[in-house]
Structure 1
Amino acid sequence: MRRRLLLSTLAVAVVAILLLGVPLAYTTHRLIYEEAHRSLERETATILGGVQLSLSTGRMVTADRVAQGYPGRYIVITLPDDTVMTAGERPPKGTELLTHSRTAGGIGVQVSQPAAAVHEQALRQLLLIGGLALLGLAVTVALAMFQARKFTLPLRDLAETADRLGTGNARPRRRRYGIPEVDRVAEVLDRSAVRVADLLAASREFAADASHQLRTPLTALSMRLEEMVRSADQPEVVREEGAAALSQAERLVAVVEQLLARARHDRTGTAQPVGLDDVVAQQVEEWRPIFRRAGRDIHLTGERGLVGLVSPAGLSQILATLLDNSLVHGAGTVTITTKNSAGSVVVEVGDEGPGVPPELERRIFERSVSGGEGTGLGLYLARSLAVVDGGRLELLQARPAVFAVFLRQVNEIQLAEEPVVVGPT
């Protein structure tokens, strides 16, 4: 492209210079010779007038006086008595320019000028025009190269940017080139890079969220299956553990649906009136064996029969996250308290451990923030699930740690329109 642009610009410049330069050179050459003839005519008339004036006043006409006034000219003066006077050096024959004038009184004047001087002047003008033409060509080539570089380098940069987008390097370059059309393309590519970066980040977040959110149900499901294997000779236990395993599998399905909704940026939620007792009891039943193995226990207290607007699977996942967080980072007995508070239904989870370090107190719900070797996703995702259903998750007390899930209360109209879900789904 650069070569084509350079050649096309050069061709236009050559044509323009030829169309303008050739007529200008011809006209200049002709004007120089015409001006030389007119100058000789003027000089002839002036000398003739001077001779007539001298003769009419009785003064003598001398060749030396005439030659002093017109250096570089060969002058021949013929007087009325046929006396011939010459002034200046005669130019070589065939190389002079002549002009001749004679009056009725018998006075004649002939002035000659060497043609070489006129030729040199004409040649200098032609060389000047040629030099200007070459300078114009050089400037044109330089401008063409500059414009070609100005156009082609941005296109190369844009091609590299598009290639980087194809390889997954979605960092916008924020580079502009001073060409509106090219800058528009660069702006579109930068916006595309931002969108691709967001998609890649969302994909990575989804993978991390999915792995974290599925870990807890899979652990519980594995425990139930282990109990079934150990209790193979006890049909009642096997049926009970099988039912619990089926419940865990249903929870896994619900978690997957929630994660897919998050990946689709679905923030409408599936909140419905849910009885908290069964959801809390189901989580206590799942986690109590794990806590007992660690020499700890779970204690349930507070009001009974509370109903909140929440997704059953979401609330189960939030409580599972808080219990897992307490198991890993806390100590002593875990206390789960349910109560009504200022227009909300509250579920508090606390333990007797050292609590949240002061440096993490304000950032405990941020992504990738952890007080130990965890992923730092649990509390972040738990708060996200609470927000989806119109609730919130807060740290009520840092040391020892007490977390609270605030859920929307259910009014009478909602209770009439939709039955209360009394068990985990």
Structure 2
Amino acid sequence: MRRRLIQSTLAVVLVVIAVFGVSLVIVETRTITSTAQERVDTEAVRLVSIVDSRLLGDETVDASVLREQIQGDRYAEIRIPGKPAIEVGTRPTGDVISARETGEEGETVTVQEPRSSVTREVGRTLLIIGAVALLAVIAAVLLAVRQANRLASPLTDLAETAERLGSGDPRPRHKRYGVPELDRVADVLDSSAERIARMLTAERRLAADASHQLRTPLTALSMRLEEITLTDDPDTVKDEATIALTQVERLTDVVERLLTNSRDPRNGSAVTFDLDEVIQQQLAEWRPAYRSVGRAIVTSGKRHLEAVGTPGAVAQVLAALIENSLMHGGGTVALRTRVTGNQAVIEVTDEGPGIPADLGARIFERAISGRNSTGIGLAVARDLAEADGGRLEMLQAKPPVIALFLSRTPPAKKAAEESGATVR
């Protein structure tokens, strides 16, 4: 591209120089020739006037008197009636420029100048024009190279940016070049890079959330299947199979919830449900894991509470809190339910050392974790709670108390109340 730009610019400059240069040479040649002829004519008129004045004054007219009046390498011939011709200077050979004038006394003055003087002057003019044309060509080449670099370098950068996007590096460069068309392309590429970065982040987040959220249901399902393989009692097999099917349903709900949140984290399908059912389900799932490490999990507080949310999402939030207590807490884990204002609250606490002071409320941030933790579970739990219009808070660090707040007002009724309050 650089070569084509330089060649095209140079071609345009050469055409312009050729057109205007030839025209200038022709005009200058004619001007120099005309000027030389005017000089010779003026010289002839001047000599005629001198001869006339001397003849009228009865003064001598000869070559010695007129020699001082002839300039340069010109030649003059004066013919006076009744007298021999007077020659001043050397008669030129070859092509000459000539002028003839006749005086009042009948004398004739002829002035000649070699055309070689005109040729020399034309040559000097052509040399000057050629030097100017050469400088113009050099300047055109330099400007063409600069312009080619200005246009080609941004295109190279844009090509590298597009290649980086294709190779999976979506970082926008935010580089502009001062050329509106190229800047527009750069804007589009930067916007595409930002969209790709958001999509990659969402995909990585979905993969991380899925690996974390699916681990618990799969572990519980595996434990139920192990119970089935270790017993010969048909009633036990039936009970465990029923629980396993429940686990499969929960696993399906987890996958659907993750996919829904990856598209729109606020796209929850909140309904009114009984908190006791979700809590008892979690107790049944986690008791074997707690029993295997010699710990207990219990529930207390207000019964038959109804809350607004997505049961599957609330179950995932409680599972994340219970798992967090199993991994980092100690002693008995207790799930307490209570009511505060228009909200139902589920508190999860244990008898462990509590949450380190350097973590504090940051435990709900991604990549913030204690020992042997991914730093994802509580962050996902917070997102799920907020998607249902609730919130997840740390009420106490030692002993640890983390509470899930859920609304008790159905969505339609809540909207009507807010609308009525606005009208009032």
Using structure 2 for the length normalisation, give the TM-score. Answer: 0.90
Pairing of 1:134-145 with structure 2 (within 5 A): 134-145=134-145
* Identity in percent: 46
Following superposition, the deviation at residue 317 of structure 1 comes to 0.7
Contact 1:29 1:126 in 2 (8 A): no
Residue identity opposite 2:201 in structure 1 = A
What is the CA–CA distance in structure 1 between the aligned matches of 2:412 and 2:365, rounded to whole Å? 37
1:56 correspondence with 2:56 = yes
The answer to whether the 8 Å contact 2:298/2:334 transfers is: yes
Single out whichever of 148-157 and 26-35 deviates more from structure 2. 148-157
The whole-number CA distance in structure 1 between the counterparts of 2:91 and 2:262 is 102
Distance 2:304 2:326 in 1: 27
Cα distance in 2 for residues equivalent to 1:170 and 1:91: 89
Residues 1:406 and 2:410 aligned together: no
Aligned residue number for residue 297 of structure 2? 298
Q: Give 1:141-290 correspondences, 5 Å limit.
A: 141-230=141-230, 232-290=231-289
CA 1:413–1:191: 2 relative to 1, 3 Å = closer
Does the 8 Å CA contact 2:268/2:388 hold for their aligned counterparts? yes
Q: Secondary structure at 1:364's aligned position in 2?
A: helix
Q: Distance in 1 between matches of 2:67 and 2:399?
A: 124
Instruction: Please tell me whether the aligned partners of residues 97 and 115 of structure 1 are also in contact (alpha carbons under 8 angstroms).
Output: yes
1:42 maps to 42
CA 1:378–1:75: 2 relative to 1, 3 Å: same
> CA 1:65 to 1:199, structure 2 compared with 1: closer, same or farther past 3 Å?
farther
Give the Cα–Cα distance (whole angstroms) in 2 for the partners of residues 175 and 143 of structure 1.
24
Secondary structure, counterpart of 1:105 in structure 2: coil
CA contact (8 A) 1:361 1:398 kept: yes
One-letter amino acid of the counterpart of residue 294, structure 1: V
Q: Is 2:102–2:108's contact at 8 Å kept on the other side of the alignment?
A: yes
Deviation at 1:66, TM superposition (A): 4.1
Residues 110 and 348 (structure 1), Cα distance of their counterparts in 2 relative to 1, 3 Å cut: same
Deviation at 1:162, TM superposition (A): 1.9
Segments of structure 1 that go 5 or more residues without pairing to the other structure are 416-425
Asked if the contact 1:301/1:336 (under 8 Å) is kept, the reply is: yes
Corresponding residue of 2:313:
314
Q: Bigger relative contact order, structure 1 or 2, given CA contacts below 8 A and separation 6+?
A: 1
Alpha-carbon shift at residue 79 of structure 1 (Å): 4.2
Letter in 2 for 1:315: V
Contact 1:63–1:85 under 8 Å retained in 2: yes
Choose 67-76 or 317-326, whichever is displaced more.
67-76
8 A Cα contact 1:303 1:338, kept in partner = yes
Q: Does 1:335 align with 2:311?
A: no
- Aligned partner of 1:118 in structure 2 is 118
The answer on whether the counterparts of 1:307 and 1:410 sit within 8 Å (CA) in structure 2 is no
Corresponding residue for 2:358? 359
State the partner residue of 1:16: 16
CA distance in 2, matches of 1:38, 1:362: 103
The Cα of 1:60 is off from its aligned counterpart by: 4.8
Provide the secondary structure at the position in 2 that maps to 1:352.
Answer: coil
Counterpart-to-counterpart distance in 1, 2:155 and 2:410: 63
CA distance in 2, matches of 1:397, 1:229: 42
- Are 2:370 and 1:371 equivalent residues in the alignment? yes
The answer to whether the 8 Å contact 1:91/1:114 transfers is no
Cα deviation, residue 145, structure 1: 3.2
By how many angstroms is 1:178 displaced?
1.9
Tell me, what secondary structure is at the counterpart of 1:358? coil
- The answer on whether the counterparts of 2:271 and 2:410 sit within 8 Å (CA) in structure 1 is no
Give structure 2 stretches of 5+ with no counterpart.
415-424
Q: Is the 8 A contact 2:45 2:101 kept in 1?
A: yes
RMSD: 2.3
